[in-house]
Structure 1
Amino acid sequence: MPLSVTCTSLSFTWPDGTAVFDGLDASFGPGRTGLVGVNGSGKSTLLKLIAGVLPPAGGTVRIAGEVGYLPQNVTLDTTLRVDRVLGIAERRAALHAIEAGDASEEHFETVGDDWDVEERALATLGELGLGHIDLDRTTGEVSGGESVLLRLAALLLRRPDVLLLDEPTNNLDLYARRRLYAAVESWPGVMVVVSHDRELLERVDQIADLRSGEISWYGGNYSAYEEALAVEQEAAERMVRVAGSDLRKQKRELADAQVKLARRKRYGQKMWDSKREPKVVMGERKRQAQVSAGKHRIMHEERLAEARERLDEAVEAVRDDAEIRVDLPYTAVPPGRGVLTLRELEPAYGARVTGGLDVRGPERIALIGRNGAGKTTLLRTIAGELAPVAGEATAHVPLRFLPQRLDVLDGGLTVAENVARFAPGATDNRIRARLARFLFRGARADQKADTLSGGERFRAALAALMLAEPAPQLLMLDEPTNNLDMASVRQLVTALESYEGALIVASHDLPFLKSIGITRWLVLDGELTEIAPEAVGYSA
């Protein structure tokens, strides 16, 4: 039987009654499939159902082969040794015992045919850029990004037939991402990967678009998917125009028919009143006219209802491409004006700024570096959240910092109330008018922050900072695209395109950094150094 994953009539509902799937049919065959969709569409839930982490409410999942699953949030027991995380501790111990002269039968049974297990483990770690990690170390000694790669290494060593990856590049630096890309490209079996990482999705064989509980399939990588989707959307918008025109036509025809029927009715009444024909003849004529009028009215009303239905179907096929609009003139910074000065800054952890760094005018700076290099610490120090060990960071304009955790929001308050905390002088009407530009219209502005999806929570946090008083002329973002779907990333790009202040963005997402018009690239590696765009794989 060929390797595959088949979902038949799959249903799943959360304990609060929220339905995610109702009769989903899907099949994943050999090759790499990118599973995409907006936040909250059920991508991670589907992977958990396939992996057996969640039980379905109905339907079946059939898998030909063994499954390996890398969840979105990887947590490891910090006391575990690396060889145990890799699943080779027992075989490795038995192998060492045999090498030391212990010929016990149980050792040979444990090793089986896997005599090169240690060499394979070290080779796999090396391929993922983890060659420096000793098998006897504990996971408490590795970074968050390295722990993700360790879990991936464990899966690769198991050689499962089906590999499920949920946002595998989150928290990985540029170097680790490239290692993961290589592992994905060389995968020989069935792979289903959920990701917002454009570069990763360019390496898949097909795209599965999960929307409204159903999957649409597109051959090729993400670029091919975008092209096909654009053609679909153009056709859908054309159908909306055609259906709208037909609806207007049917309304006119119904109105014209009603006018004609009213004229006939008046003429018949006039004939009745003048008694120009026998009463029996006029009565029969009136009855036939009423029957004809009724049929005529029903026909036009049915045509109108059908036109409305066609328009509704056409509108539903058009995706909501709502965009964030930012119109904040007070955020503008004149070219050349000093925005930020760093002098001999030494944060509590990570790279130091030898000499100084000046940020001027509406510059857009990318802050890159390996995991653990200190990017977050540097941003928090500039924002005044952490005290430096030495040196100084001076902001010359109002600044705001959006951390990875989005903890600028109070979960117990509504979106509007959260924004009001940052702009206490603004009226409720002004706040709601501004929030509409961030796609929080009407009742959506009254949602509690705790109930928002990942993309909505990010938009709410961004709105709170952008609408703050005084308006921020320096905005610092820490890994802003983590856990955002593609639609949310596009909305963020649109917002930043219209932002007129200075930007400092820490990110490993190169396509995103390129899309927002980065003007300077700074890398943290012991010290803060400016590099050319070509050094990170992009020309200016």
Structure 2
Amino acid sequence: MSSTFVIAISDLTFVWPDGTGVFDGLNAAIGPGHVGLVGSNGAGKSTLLRVIAGDLHSVRGSVTAPERLGYLRQDLGLAAGQRVDEVLGIASVRNALHRIESGAGTDAEFDIVGSRWDVEQQAVALLGKLGLHYVAGDVAALDRRLDTLSGGETVLLGLVAELLREPEVLLLDEPTNNLDQVARQRLYQVIDQFSGTVVTVSHDRELLERVSTIAELRHGEIRSFGGNFSEYERIVDAEQEAARAAIRDARGDVRKQARELVETRIKLDRRLRYGQKMWDQKREPKIIMNERKRQAQVSAGKLRNNHIGKLDDAKDQLTQAQEQLRDDREIRVDLPDTRLYPGQDVIDLEEVTLACGPTVTLKIAGPERIALTGRNGVGKTTLLHRIRTEPPKVPWRMLPQRLDIFDEEKSVFENVAATAPHVTAERIRAQLARFLFRGADADILAEALSGGERLRAALAMLLLADPAPKLLLLDEPTNNLDLPSLRHLTEALAGFQGALIVVSHDPRFLADIGATREVELSAQGLAEIPFG
């Protein structure tokens, strides 16, 4: 691929069938190199990738991209019964190859194989390169069904399928979701070695630190920043500090102009009263007094309009400065009812055998924050579900990976109220405001929520439930989150005073929420390992 190649987006306008607009006249050029596409949930990052890939069609405008384009979707949409080779798109080539090798090949099957005589070895090599543990140089791995793979293995399989197509441009939508640390490192290496243009939507800080450009999608426009995510943050932080200073200056100017306008009006009122007094006393000829009155009115009007104009200009400057300031609202919750005391029994699993094989023992007492780690497919989610069935010795709630805990046809308020039937509506709305659902925002239907809003609503359902949960089970809670939403999640958990068990492959997130212990699940059971 030419080093000068870019994805060109011209006048792109996209509207969902229900009339919701996403882009209106978007223009951008992406590439070359490795690009991190960032922006808040709901900004349209995944939608843009789908338009570039041709999955969605705009109502106006165009996208220019190479024909050989790979696209790893956030939701792969794969059927459990599919075989690995079907996902990789090489099933027909393998079938033709095997018939040729058996001596029964037809001309049509030779055409199907073409020059891809080593397709099986190439596929197995790529699978092994990404660390899929069931691959040991054996092409029989290509016959496995997807329902025997973990979520993380399926993601890696999807990436291999795209790489086998030898694309010039690779579009990746949250590629590290569900991947353990070993798998992530292998994925980083494969992406680093890809010589074409890569456009990655991700909340994974380490992945974003490896890109050469950050493209920010905000308010329907794309702005490019040279460098990795740290450099992008440095630039944005500097701009925000300048915006805050401009707001302070503009507010000061508004106050100054408002004060001067008041002072001017007082002076003009004094002049008016003096002029009226002179008129009443008729100390000068009427023609002179009328001319003075006229001149005074003209002068007063100019003076007043001058100060009103200055005040309006100062207000415009303030508005412009405020528009440069990003929304940095924070979730602020105080949850004393979730408090656990040191030594208080929470979980006591003794030699429990999981359906996936391992036998585990797990004891938790007091407000511990447990990081549950382990390789993809080992059974971490299975363990969380087993904990639910024991049950724990304190009130608990679980945050599933897909956040599928809502009645989609009910509002945020109604969903939260259902978990707290004895709490007044006024109390629920006051608490929802702390989760940034203020006023009418609390009445939005769950099905209409963006990704970040969905997370905040799910957290509200968990943390505002009655009785208050003293144990939270969180299954890959950072999946699909943009960075502001990740901050919101961390803020909410900071106010939680109970015990946590968190399945996550994000060491920075685990450190930020104050994880106190790490237990690793393997085929041999649970093992305590040094945290950090």
Per the normalisation by structure 2, the TM-score is 0.93
Task: Specify the alignment match of 2:381 in structure 1.
Answer: 376
DSSP-derived class of the 1:395 partner:
coil
TM-aligned CA distance change 1:79 to 1:462, over 3 Å: closer
Whether contact under 8 Å (1:3, 1:189) holds in the other structure is no
Instruction: Please give the alpha-carbon distance, in whole angstroms, between the structure 2 residues aligned to 1:111 and 1:400.
Output: 53
Whether contact under 8 Å (1:68, 1:163) holds in the other structure is yes
Residue 104 of structure 1 and its aligned partner are, at CA, apart by: 5.9
Residue 98 of structure 1 and its aligned partner are, at CA, apart by: 4.8
Whether contact under 8 Å (2:520, 2:529) holds in the other structure is no
Task: Specify the alignment match of 2:441 in structure 1.
Answer: 444
Task: Specify the alignment match of 2:58 in structure 1.
Answer: 56
Task: Specify the alignment match of 2:513 in structure 1.
Answer: 516
TM-aligned CA distance change 1:91 to 1:404, over 3 Å: closer
Task: Specify the alignment match of 2:259 in structure 1.
Answer: 252
Task: Specify the alignment match of 1:470 in structure 2.
Answer: 467
Task: Specify the alignment match of 2:40 in structure 1.
Answer: 38
Instruction: Please give the alpha-carbon distance, in whole angstroms, between the structure 1 residues aligned to 2:152 and 2:81.
Output: 17
Instruction: Please give the alpha-carbon distance, in whole angstroms, between the structure 2 residues aligned to 1:158 and 1:226.
Output: 35
Residue 100 of structure 1 and its aligned partner are, at CA, apart by: 4.6
Task: Specify the alignment match of 1:182 in structure 2.
Answer: 189
2:431 is the counterpart of 1:434: yes
Q: Deviations over 1:492-531 (max 9, x none)?
A: 1111122211111112222211211111111111243234
2:481 is the counterpart of 1:479: no
Q: Give identity over the alignment, percent.
A: 57
Q: Deviations over 1:51-80 (max 9, x none)?
A: 111111212111245211111100224454
TM-aligned CA distance change 1:339 to 1:58, over 3 Å: same
Residue 95 of structure 1 and its aligned partner are, at CA, apart by: 4.3
Residue 109 of structure 1 and its aligned partner are, at CA, apart by: 4.2
DSSP-derived class of the 2:141 partner:
coil
Whether contact under 8 Å (2:11, 2:26) holds in the other structure is yes
Whether contact under 8 Å (1:199, 1:511) holds in the other structure is no
Task: Specify the alignment match of 1:360 in structure 2.
Answer: 365
Task: Specify the alignment match of 1:223 in structure 2.
Answer: 230
Task: Specify the alignment match of 2:406 in structure 1.
Answer: 409
- One of 185, 200, 203 as aligned partner of 1:196: 203
Whether contact under 8 Å (1:364, 1:503) holds in the other structure is yes
Whether contact under 8 Å (1:35, 1:193) holds in the other structure is yes
Counterparts in 2 of 1:48-447, with a 5 A limit? 48-64=50-66, 66-100=68-102, 106-130=108-132, 131-132=135-136, 134-353=141-360, 356-384=361-389, 393=390, 395-447=392-444
Instruction: Please give the alpha-carbon distance, in whole angstroms, between the structure 2 residues aligned to 1:143 and 1:509.
Output: 18
Q: Deviations over 1:252-302 (max 9, x none)?
A: 111111111111211222222222222222212211221222222222112
Q: Which runs of 5+ in 1 are unaligned?
A: 385-392
Instruction: Please give the alpha-carbon distance, in whole angstroms, between the structure 1 residues aligned to 2:408 and 2:226.
Output: 41
TM-aligned CA distance change 1:396 to 1:308, over 3 Å: same
Residue 137 of structure 1 and its aligned partner are, at CA, apart by: 3.3
Whether contact under 8 Å (1:522, 1:528) holds in the other structure is no
Task: Specify the alignment match of 1:495 in structure 2.
Answer: 492
Instruction: Please give the alpha-carbon distance, in whole angstroms, between the structure 1 residues aligned to 2:15 and 2:335.
Output: 42
Instruction: Please give the alpha-carbon distance, in whole angstroms, between the structure 2 residues aligned to 1:89 and 1:433.
Output: 57
Instruction: Please give the alpha-carbon distance, in whole angstroms, between the structure 1 residues aligned to 2:333 and 2:359.
Output: 34
Whether contact under 8 Å (1:369, 1:524) holds in the other structure is yes
Q: Deviations over 1:407-457 (max 9, x none)?
A: 332223222222222222211111111111111111112222222222212
Q: Deviations over 1:76-115 (max 9, x none)?
A: 2445443333233444444445545568655554444444
TM-aligned CA distance change 1:421 to 1:137, over 3 Å: closer
Instruction: Please give the alpha-carbon distance, in whole angstroms, between the structure 1 residues aligned to 2:391 and 2:168.
Output: 55
DSSP-derived class of the 2:159 partner:
helix
Residue 242 of structure 1 and its aligned partner are, at CA, apart by: 0.8
Instruction: Please give the alpha-carbon distance, in whole angstroms, between the structure 2 residues aligned to 1:307 and 1:195.
Output: 40
Whether contact under 8 Å (2:8, 2:65) holds in the other structure is yes
Q: Deviations over 1:103-160 (max 9, x none)?
A: 8655554444444333222211111123256223344443333222222112111111
Residue 364 of structure 1 and its aligned partner are, at CA, apart by: 0.7
Instruction: Please give the alpha-carbon distance, in whole angstroms, between the structure 1 residues aligned to 2:402 and 2:509.
Output: 19
Q: Deviations over 1:463-511 (max 9, x none)?
A: 1221222222222111111122111110111111222111111122222
Whether contact under 8 Å (2:338, 2:468) holds in the other structure is yes
TM-aligned CA distance change 1:250 to 1:157, over 3 Å: same
DSSP-derived class of the 1:188 partner:
coil
Instruction: Please give the alpha-carbon distance, in whole angstroms, between the structure 2 residues aligned to 1:527 and 1:298.
Output: 82
Whether contact under 8 Å (1:174, 1:508) holds in the other structure is yes
TM-aligned CA distance change 1:416 to 1:93, over 3 Å: closer
Instruction: Please give the alpha-carbon distance, in whole angstroms, between the structure 1 residues aligned to 2:112 and 2:399.
Output: 51
Bigger drift between 203-212 and 464-473 goes to 464-473
DSSP-derived class of the 2:142 partner:
coil
| Alignment size in residue pairs | 525
Q: Deviations over 1:202-252 (max 9, x none)?
A: 221111111110122222222222222211111111111111111111111
Q: Which runs of 5+ in 2 are unaligned?
A: none
DSSP-derived class of the 1:440 partner:
coil
Instruction: Please give the alpha-carbon distance, in whole angstroms, between the structure 1 residues aligned to 2:100 and 2:413.
Output: 67
